């Protein structure tokens, strides 16, 4: 049975129903927190977490930026050159650079200039904040 469904119906199982279930068939094991129990649904977000995550969500709310973040994160060493990212889009290089600048200013990407090229890498702390919000892990 799906963990979400179990969480949903657990309050309605009373002691009589529990006693009639064969203990030899039922083996309970601890379950990790799942998305249904993330901070958004389990408790209100703290002011600190909301202030850290809101700019990140604004930055990735645009499909090109979300894809760019994904491309950098999936690249070897979670680092990619602008020249490699440009090839994945039917957009001009200045447009790609603008989107990368937005991701950098939001704190999702770090950048380093090497010669004439700029290399972008993922900021793992920012992804961890997003993961906390979406996946419920702290």
pLDDT at site 128: 79
pLDDT at site 38: 56
pLDDT at site 51: 85
Residue 23 is encoded by which pair of tokens? Answer: 């203990």
Contact between residue 71 and residue 88 where contact means Cβ atoms under 8 Å apart: yes
Q: Running DSSP on this structure, what letter comes out for residue 117?
A: E
Query: In this structure, which CATH number among 1.10.1240.10, 3.30.200.20, 1.10.10.10, 3.40.50.1390 belongs to the domain 47-135?
Result: 1.10.10.10
Contact between residue 72 and residue 79 where contact means Cβ atoms under 8 Å apart: yes
Percent of the chain with pLDDT over 90: 38
Cα distance between residue 71 and residue 85, in whole Å: 7
Structural domain boundaries of the chain?
Answer: 47-135
Maximum average pLDDT range among 1-10, 43-52, 90-99: 90-99
Which range among 17-21, 45-49, 118-122 shows the weakest confidence by mean pLDDT?
A: 17-21
Cα distance between residue 100 and residue 59, in whole Å: 10
- 58 CB neighbour count, 10 Å cutoff: 12
Please provide the average confidence, as pLDDT, over all residues in the chain: 75
Q: What is the pLDDT of residues 51-109, one digit of tens each?
A: 878 888 999 999 999 999 999 999 988 899 988 888 899 999 899 999 999 999 999 99
pLDDT at site 136: 54
Contact between residue 108 and residue 56 where contact means Cβ atoms under 8 Å apart: yes
């Amino acid at each position: 049975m799906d963990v979400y469904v179990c969480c949903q119906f657990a309050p309605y199982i009373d002691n009589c129903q529990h006693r009639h279930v064969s203990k030899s068939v039922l083996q309970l094991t601890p379950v990790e927190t799942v998305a249904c129990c993330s901070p958004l649904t389990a408790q209100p977000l703290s002011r600190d977490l909301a202030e850290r995550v809101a700019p990140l969500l604004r930055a990735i709310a645009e499909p090109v930026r979300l894809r760019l973040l994904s491309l950098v994160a999936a690249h070897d060493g979670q680092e990619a050159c602008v020249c490699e990212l440009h090839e994945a889009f039917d957009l001009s290089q200045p447009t790609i650079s603008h989107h990368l600048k937005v991701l950098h200013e939001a704190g999702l990407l770090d950048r380093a200039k090497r010669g004439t090229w700029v290399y972008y890498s993922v900021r793992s702390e920012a992804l961890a904040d997003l993961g906390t919000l979406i996946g419920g892990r702290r």
